[in-house]
Amino acid sequence: MKVTHAPRLHRYTFQEYLALEASSTVRHEFFAGEIYAMAGGTPRHAALSMAVGAALLAQVRGGPCRVHSSDLRVRALATGLTTYPDVTVVCGPYETDAQDKNTVLNPRLLVEVTSDSTEDYDRGEKLESYQRIASVEAVVLVSHREHLIEVFERQADSSWRRSEARSGASLKLAGLGVTLTVDDIYAAAAPV
């Protein structure tokens, strides 16, 4: 998300951001001392997010992992990014921010459905921030333009490997032992 702003005179603290979130009816993202309102998504975006979440939930149910909607706030301490991923998977006990018990620090999997306004940001700064969260094993990007799911998985040497799947294919997320089937995800978001 490339947003051009006039120079700001005030840099917000994380506490100021949390105070704004507590009193706001709109969600905000916090990054580098700035607070950005998060726009609402399209019906297709919402359906794709739910389809991925449902596919993950069906496969991790009964185990130590929990699948969360975009209502869960996640913070990347290394970069300061605080945001609401489209889908988040947390395994084991929650590790929460010392300043806010509702902000999770230990996601294992993060999913973003791209949009016209966020695609560059999702593939750039946001992806880099997600990859700096020590607990994150994979980041999934779901394209809004075409039937394409990309997975960025952390390797044993801490490098990241990108793989993709298009119509007729599936992607296995080894760390969670789950598979995302492209046609199933997009069928759930098809217009009726």
Q: What confidence tier does 6 reach under pLDDT thresholds 50, 70, 90? A: low
pLDDT in tens, 25-47: 889 999 989 988 887 788 999 99
| pLDDT number for residue 190 | 84
| pLDDT number for residue 1 | 47
| pLDDT number for residue 55 | 97
103 - beta bridge partners? 73
Q: Where are the domains of the chain?
A: 42-187
177: left (phi over 0), alpha (psi -120 to 50) or beta: left
Of all residues in the chain, the percent with pLDDT exceeding 90 is 82
CA terminus-to-terminus distance, the chain: 30
Mean pLDDT of the chain: 92
Confidence (pTM): 0.91
CATH topology of domain 42-187: tt1808, chain A (3.90.1570)
pLDDT in tens, 117-157: 889 999 999 999 999 999 999 999 999 999 999 999 999 99
| pLDDT number for residue 8 | 54
Residue 128: exposed, middle, or buried by beta-carbon count in 10 A (0-12, 13-18, 19+)? middle
> 117, 189, 89: which is closest to 149 by C-alpha?
189
pLDDT at residue 5 is higher than 70: no
